[in-house]
Chains A and B, each alone.
Chain A
Amino acid sequence: AAGVIQSPRHLIKEKRETATLKCYPIPRHDTVYWYQQGPGQDPQFLISFYEKMQSDKGSIPDRFSAQQFSDYHSELNMSSLELGDSALYFCASSSTLTEDEYSTDTQYFGPGTRLTVL
């Protein structure tokens, strides 16, 4: 079964640089979520999009922005990177309709992008 794809899987940046993380949701999923998981922490919700519109916003810094494109993939843009931004960034997708083996409204997570800021 198709899963959520994230790229890159690993990213190393220096302080004050920018980074772009990409997420390709499960086909026909209409909602995308971004989460940040710091070392030894639980995932924290950043932002979500439904049908290309922002649907909810969590603890996302002003230095970060995100969007969902017409093909439903999403990008998380991070600027002025700080050491504290080093974390695992997860994307998840869900569908408001029951599709194949995927349950409605259930969030399926990608493998994550590990961002290291030096």
Chain B
Amino acid sequence: GEDVEQSLFLSVREGDSSVINCTYTDSSSTYLYWYKQEPGAGLQLLTYIFSNMDMKQDQRLTVLLNKKDKHLSLRIADTQTGDSAIYFCAEGEGSQGNLIFGKGTKLSVKP
């Protein structure tokens, strides 16, 4: 069945780059998303990439997609303490299709 996997924890120092990795299994996924969830809060859409793209950059965020290996990564440049949160990778087929989420990666940023 469909599955999305992420490492559970990542710890970085303030100012460093963070790289959060994700692998997925559904080759029919059209969209791949990154959502951020702060404690007790909702899911904030950070960015997304279409499956026919290799890379997308949005300010401090860079998404890389290796479709052959079904590997997605999110790079956060100049990580700040405010970036501490859980980051969920999700795949979807778009057009009313539901999202399949990974377990989330908890990012801790140390000052």
Binding site for B on A (CB under 8 A): 31, 33, 35, 41-45, 48, 50, 55-56, 58, 90, 92, 94, 96, 103-112, 114
Are A90 and B42 interface neighbours, CB within 8 A? yes
Interchain CB contact under 8 A, B98 and A106:
no
Cα distance A42–B105 when bound, in Å?
A: 10
Name the one of A41, A58, A107 contacting B92, with C-beta atoms under 8 angstroms.
A107
Q: Are B98 and A56 in contact, with the CB atoms below 8 A?
A: yes
Point out the residue from A45, A108, A110 that lies within 8 Å of B98, measured CB to CB. A45
Distance A110 CA – B44 CA, assembled complex (angstroms): 9
- Partner pick for A43 among B44, B88, B97, CB 8 A cutoff: B88
Q: A42-B88, A42-B101, A43-B88 are in contact. Are A108 and B96 (CB under 8 A)?
A: no
* Interface size counted on chain B using CB atoms at 8 A: 23
- A42 contacts B43, CB within 8 Å? no
A41 to B44 alpha-carbon distance, docked (Å): 16
Taking CB atoms, residues of chain B closer than 8 Å to A92 are 43, 99
CB–CB A111/B103 < 8 A: no
Contact A45 B99, CB 8 Å, known A105-B94, A106-B31, A107-B92: yes
| A114, B101: Cα distance in complex, Å | 19
Q: Which residues of B contact A106 (CB under 8 A)?
A: 31, 33, 45, 48
A90 interface neighbour in B31, B43, B95, Cβ under 8 Å: B43
Contact B42 A42 (CB under 8 A): no
Q: Is the CB of A56 within 8 A of B96?
A: yes
Asked whether B95 lies within 8 Å of A109 as measured between CB atoms, the reply is no
Give the CA-CA distance A115 to B100 in the complex, in Å: 22
Report yes or no: A109 in contact with B35, Cβ–Cβ below 8 A: yes
**Chain B residues within an 8 Å CB radius of A55:** 96
Docked pose: A56 CA to B92 CA in angstroms = 13
A43-B45 contact, Cβ under 8 Å, with A33-B98, A56-B98: no
- Among A31, A55, A109, the most chain B Cβ lie within 10 Å of the Cβ of A109
A103: which B residues are within 8 A, CB to CB?
48
A56 to B97, CA, bound (A): 7
